[in-house]
Amino acid sequence: MMKTPHPAGAARWWFRLDATLARCASRCGRIGVGVYEFLCFGLKQASACLFGGLMVALLVGSWRWYPAHALLSRYDFLTVSAVAIQLGLLASRLESLEEARVIVLFHVVGTAMEWFKTGIGAWSYPGASYLHMGGVPLFTGFMYASVGSYIARAWRLFDFRFTRHPPFGSSVALAVAIYVNFFSHHWLPDLRGLLFLVLAWLFGPTWVHFRIRCVHRRMPLLLGFVLVAGFIWLAENVGTYTHAWIYPAQRAGWHPVPLAKLGSWLLLMVISYVMVSAIHRRKPGQ
């Protein structure tokens, strides 16, 4: 497996600090090394979740403290804040232009689904806003984009490599079928069960190799999809609890989003993963 390259420029201080802390951890034996690597894993995950984490924090903060009669509505405040965060990530080079393009595309894909789903009453946005399209507040697209942002940043931070990965064309075909089914199942038979089977068949043998520090470790890619879908489900519960959006069954009072929604988020993960993988498919080792 690859060794961690020596960074140049402003990142050199972090490499030296990491090396110093690693030496200290090694003096405590295998347990010390394991604890330090777990800490590094958590820090990288936190960095990858930066955009999504800030969006969830904004949902909670604006619900708890944002003035009800402010000139800028809560939804518009969320939209402006999301744009500012995105620009800040680009300015600080925490996000690349390539990653931002995919995130913008995912914003468009997510907003299109929002138009349709809110139109048929699958969920609704109880607040007012000026920054909206077709009755859908523009901040909603950033909630979808935060998933793409996490995958793009995690891919780079953990230096993903894959074995037994399905062909890119097959992944795209599955992603398109999933997206179409999100719309068509309201009139045609729901193909979700078949899509789960195809997902397991294509990605079941796939391993993702990720580097925390110096060596690559591995896990089944499908397990990674499920874990991320679980965190998205938790974030969705935060969104509904803070009345950023609500489902019809929650109008009489809040209750957790059904666990069955994990399946929808798992399928959505495939769409976002395929869109991000479009950046990397020509790079060696992918």
Alpha-carbon gap, residue 120 to 123, rounded angstroms:
8
Is the entire prediction scored with pTM above 0.75?
yes
Kindly report which listed range (33-42, 50-59, 167-176, 199-208) carries the lowest average pLDDT score: 33-42
Q: Pick the closest to residue 115 from 103, 132, 131, 129 (CA basis).
A: 132
Alpha-carbon gap, residue 150 to 275, rounded angstroms:
12
pLDDT tens-digit series, residues 231-273: 999 999 999 999 999 999 898 889 999 988 899 999 999 999 9
Instruction: Compute CA distances 183 → 133, 141, 153, 261, whole Å.
Output: 19, 17, 29, 16
pLDDT tens-digit series, residues 135-191: 899 999 999 889 988 998 899 889 999 999 999 999 999 999 999 999 999 899 999
Tell me 8's DSSP state: -
Residue 136 and residue 125 in contact, taking contact as beta carbons nearer than 8 Å: yes
